[in-house]
């Protein structure tokens, strides 16, 4: 009978481009898996050496040499354990998304990813050539098949490995998070297990990378489809599972978490890694007393600590006293630096400068936008002077319909909630207060307002968010036509108006800062629409 085997799943937070640092982390993970966990094999995520997604870094002339040097370090320093590691492989003038099986200074096997995703946030066919052959290697009397990420989402690579003699499968990943992703992964893995009759070790990375965030969610499924292990979400770690007598032993499982908690942790992870990896000393937030800025401030504090967060209140002649009070109370509760910079002098100066040119023209949206742009100027001035990154506070509902001011409240370096619908903003704020009450209750319960004119409410310009958000989800994420959305029970005039606003705001979104994807279809690299196009009701 084959001996008992212990496998280590290295759920790592890897930095794109930092080959030297990633190699150090892989070596450390291998040593810990061997010495502390007694593992026979450690599996690291997809493209571990370079990080994911590397995009056009792959095309840098020095990259093949840098990757080769990284592999040579692994060959020299990883001993006494089998290492499965992902990397870009440069061969014959092309690049493969590859995985190596390394043992005691020898590359025992090489595998080249067969299924290259080219949808959503993925653009792998731009850089990689697909492989075609299976990879099966032996460890402790067991034959192990190796696949990479998208390979497991389709039937052929797993079946190919089984036909080549594999008794279990290892699938290494760089799989981004969106709400509901755990269930999707589990359904796919269930299908592969049912088709092949093989257990699967699924290894994923964690961490924020620009406009995507990786949740980990590494897991092990037995040959009968039962779940033997699942790793914590958004936590870097090395996790061991034991194969004994052909069956994986039961390992600790994580508790079921509410959607709000998982999304919130994704946003925190994304902000933390973006700010830290780009070397910003901290974050600046325009703290208005509204719910969006309140949520962003809470996320920033949880990501960076209160000492690195600076809230700036910028009241205007239209700002209500309760908004000023709530902004101050939240800043005090969270223990962040807090400043009050009224925009009235700047707003007045702009109006005086434009008075002659605007003579005879009524007050309209122009003056509202001047207020927002006055705030943007102040925040960017603070950012330039002190080095902190400005976190914008616009949500997905606003970004979708253009209810955001270009060069105003869209000014900033990172947009934590740009993929969070307004209705979810309320739910996230409510959930965050169950951990500790940092957001004043009145901020959550009162009607939202931009406060750019007397007695203004969001509902003056937009459908109620409980109506708007489902329409946006259908139009943006599911890409349904207007007749199809109307058939869901929405008024035709409202649907047409919302769709028109989405189309007309494309140019704004193209200029928006990046922010983490948490829905099925985020604005940015995942949704690429022309700025100038006529497509009506389709």
- Residues marked active site are found at 46, 113, 149
The CA distance from 266 to 332, in Å, is 25
DSSP state of 59: G
Nearest-Å Rg of the Cα atoms of the chain is 26
Contact 89, 112 (CB under 8 A): yes
Contact 103, 56 (CB under 8 A): no
The CA distance from 102 to 219, in Å, is 22
Contact 227, 221 (CB under 8 A): yes
Closest CA to 189 of 162, 219, 159: 219
Secondary structure class of 272 (helix, strand, coil): helix
**DSSP per-residue string spanning 354-410:** HTTTTTTPPP-HHHHHHHHHHHHHHHHHHHHHH-PEEBP---HHHHHHT-S-TTTTT
Per-residue burial over 206-237, b if 16 or more Cβ lie within 10 Å, else e, is bbbbbbbbbbbbbbbbbbebebbbbbbbbebb
The CA distance from 510 to 202, in Å, is 35
The CA distance from 8 to 237, in Å, is 10
Contact 447, 457 (CB under 8 A): yes
Q: Which alpha helices (DSSP H) does 418-464 contain, by range?
A: 422-435, 441-445
The CA distance from 308 to 330, in Å, is 15
Q: How far is CA 457 from CA 110, 160, 253, 344, 425, in A?
A: 60, 59, 46, 21, 17
Q: Which alpha helices (DSSP H) does 36-131 contain, by range?
A: 63-77
Contact 86, 12 (CB under 8 A): no
Phi first, then psi: give them for residue 13, nearest 5 degrees: -100, 105
Q: In what side-by-side order are the strands of the sheet with 106-112?
A: 106-112, 94-103, 82-91, 41-43, 5-11, 237-244, 247-248
The CA distance from 149 to 197, in Å, is 19
- Beta-bridged to residue 144, according to DSSP, are 137, 168
């Amino acid at each position: 009978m084959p001996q008992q085997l212990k496998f280590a799943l290295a759920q790592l937070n890897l930095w794109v481009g930092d080959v030297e640092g990633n190699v150090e982390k892989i070596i450390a993970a291998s040593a810990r898996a061997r010495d502390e966990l007694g593992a026979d094999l450690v599996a690291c995520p997809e493209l571990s050496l370079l990080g994911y997604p590397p995009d056009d870094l792959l095309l840098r002339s020095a990259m093949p040499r840098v990757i080769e040097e990284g592999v040579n370090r692994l060959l020299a320093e990883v001993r006494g354990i089998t290492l499965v590691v992902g990397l870009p492989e440069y061969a014959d003038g092309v690049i493969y998304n590859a995985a190596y099986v390394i043992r005691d200074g020898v590359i025992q096997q090489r595998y080249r990813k067969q299924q290259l995703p080219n949808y959503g946030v993925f653009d792998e066919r731009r850089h990689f050539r697909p492989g075609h052959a299976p990879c099966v290697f032996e460890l402790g009397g067991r034959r192990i098949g190796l696949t990479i990420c998208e390979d497991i989402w389709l039937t052929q690579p797993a079946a190919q490995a089984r036909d080549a003699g594999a008794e279990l499968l290892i699938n290494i990943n760089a799989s981004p998070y969106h709400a509901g992703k755990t269930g999707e992964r589990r359904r796919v893995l269930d299908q592969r297990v049912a088709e092949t009759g093989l257990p699967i070790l699924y290894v994923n990375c964690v961490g924020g990378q620009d406009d995507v965030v990786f949740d980990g969610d590494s897991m092990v499924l037995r040959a009968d489809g039962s779940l033997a292990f699942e790793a914590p979400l958004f936590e870097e770690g090395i996790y061991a599972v034991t194969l004994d007598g052909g069956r994986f032993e039961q390992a600790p499982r994580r508790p079921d978490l509410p959607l709000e908690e998982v999304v919130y942790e994704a946003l925190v992870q994304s902000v933390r890694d973006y700010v830290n990896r780009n070397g910003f000393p901290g974050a600046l937030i325009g703290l208005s007393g509204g719910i969006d800025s309140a949520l962003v401030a809470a996320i920033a504090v949880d990501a960076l600590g209160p000492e690195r967060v600076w809230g700036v209140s910028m009241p205007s002649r239209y700002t209500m006293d309760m908004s000023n009070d709530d902004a101050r109370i939240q800043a005090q509760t969270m223990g962040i630096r807090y400043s009050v910079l009224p925009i009235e002098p700047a707003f007045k100066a702009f109006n005086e400068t434009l008075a002659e040119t605007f003579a005879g023209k009524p007050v309209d949206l122009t003056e509202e936008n001047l207020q927002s742009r006055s705030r943007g100027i102040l925040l960017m001035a603070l950012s330039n002077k002190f080095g902190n990154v400005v976190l914008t506070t616009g949500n997905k509902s606003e970004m979708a319909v253009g209810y955001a001011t270009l060069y105003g409240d869209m000014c900033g370096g990172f947009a934590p909630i740009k993929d969070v619908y307004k209705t979810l903003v309320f739910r996230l704020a409510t959930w965050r207060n169950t951990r500790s009450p940092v957001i004043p209750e009145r901020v959550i319960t009162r009607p939202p307002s931009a406060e750019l004119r007397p007695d203004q409410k969001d509902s003056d310009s937009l459908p109620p968010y409980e109506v708007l958000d489902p329409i946006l989800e259908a139009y943006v994420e599911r890409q349904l036509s207007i007749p199809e959305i109307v058939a869901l029970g929405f008024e035709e005039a409202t649907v047409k108006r919302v769709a028109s606003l989405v189309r007309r705001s494309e140019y704004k979104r193209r200029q928006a800062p990046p922010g983490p994807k948490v829905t099925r279809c985020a604005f940015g690299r995942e949704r690429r629409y022309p700025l100038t196009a006529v497509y009506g009701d389709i």
